[in-house]
Chains A and B, each alone.
Chain A
Amino acid sequence: MLPVKHSRGFPRTIQGFTLFGIAMACAGTAAAADEPLYTVLNPTGNPPPIERKSMAPRPVSLTGKTIYLVDETFDGGDKFLLQMQQWMTAHMPEVKTIFRAKKGAYSADDPALWKEIKSVDGLMIMAIGH
């Protein structure tokens, strides 16, 4: 039995409903003429609406920019970012890098850090370890 193919970068929810919209439901084997047919109810819940957000504008160049390397504290993300910082120091001397561990649990907001990054017109790379 093959699962529905979910192409990368194309959300499951959108894809699922597109399939619904294409007509119908079942793409299995053809029914025998005397086989009973059923109409059934969809068992899934109701997803919330999505509020689209514009991404942050990009600079033309990284020269003179400050890049924050932000660890969200999960499974080795800190060690990975520190290696990235070493690489950037060696290969991108025109860029300033600052390593930071996000405050609080990995899923917690850290508005003070976001404010700090904005205050220097900085950029952020967040790494999620695992």
Chain B
Amino acid sequence: MPAPSLREPDDAPPEDGPGSRRRLLRAVLFALLLAALAVPLLGQPYYTKLVARMAIFAIAALSLDLLVGYGGLVSFGHAAFFGIGVYTAGLLPMLGIRQAVVIVPAAALAGALVGCVTGAVSLRASGLYFIFITLAFAEMIFYIAQGLRMFGGDDGFRLPAATLLGGELSLGHPVVLAYTMIGLLLVFIYAGRRIAASRFGQVVVAARDDEGKLRAIGLSPFPGRLLLYTIASAMCAVAGVGFANLVEYVSPASMSWIQSGEFLFMVILGSAATLVGPVLGAAAYVGLEQVLSSWTEHWMFWLGVILVLRVLLLRQGLYGLITGRRGAGGA
């Protein structure tokens, strides 16, 4: 057995991914990154926004992968934290706060707080109960947002002002937004790998694989899981700030259960417990959405069909298609 290395913190046995396939994955990722960086230079707002959208959803999917893939914690309520980020970006400008250095940490903090509280309750349960409870908490937060009548209730409201990076740079500008979100995505990929390789990350992974054994050696999975849940919630809230600036609109729809399901779809489309898999999954999902919606107004129908086919037939995800191996985790 080769020693676990920082480069491959995911726990699929390193030897079953052929080196050439690994290089292929690297090449694909590198090409995608280059493409993502090049597209905004074309000066076509439509494509720039598409790239920004991919990066935003990639962050959300990546954060969910930490839970689903590494923790084996299937959360069906992750969109709640996305929505918390959206509302933070929408509400703070009403207080005159527009600076990203305040809004982004505030969103992360709000996400972390809510994640820590709801996580402390949800993580007492496991398996099916955990799925239902995360869904129910997300629904609760959704209804709270819907109940904010002075902020448009169910209809939401227009983003009062774009988030300012500093000086003249505004996230309301698609190019700035795209590059910012790509930068954050890279930081979060790195952070995700460090988390997976860290001591508490290893404990959480071990708890996923065999909770009984972990308890037998005297370790409780709960603190690690709660920390992971809190971090993932904060990351997803940051993605929400980007989303509010992208669509320039704030509404409860950003935290609907459909959105949570879509995040899970992105994770699984790419394959869980790989970090880059969900990033690929998010990009593919956004691409699919664009292609399908330009082709038919009933694209949601075909998305559902594709989701079913993905689960029933394609069992390894995009990451697996490229590297020839499967991600782990989930249920």
Q: Do A and B bind each other?
A: no
Binding site for A on B (CB under 8 A): none
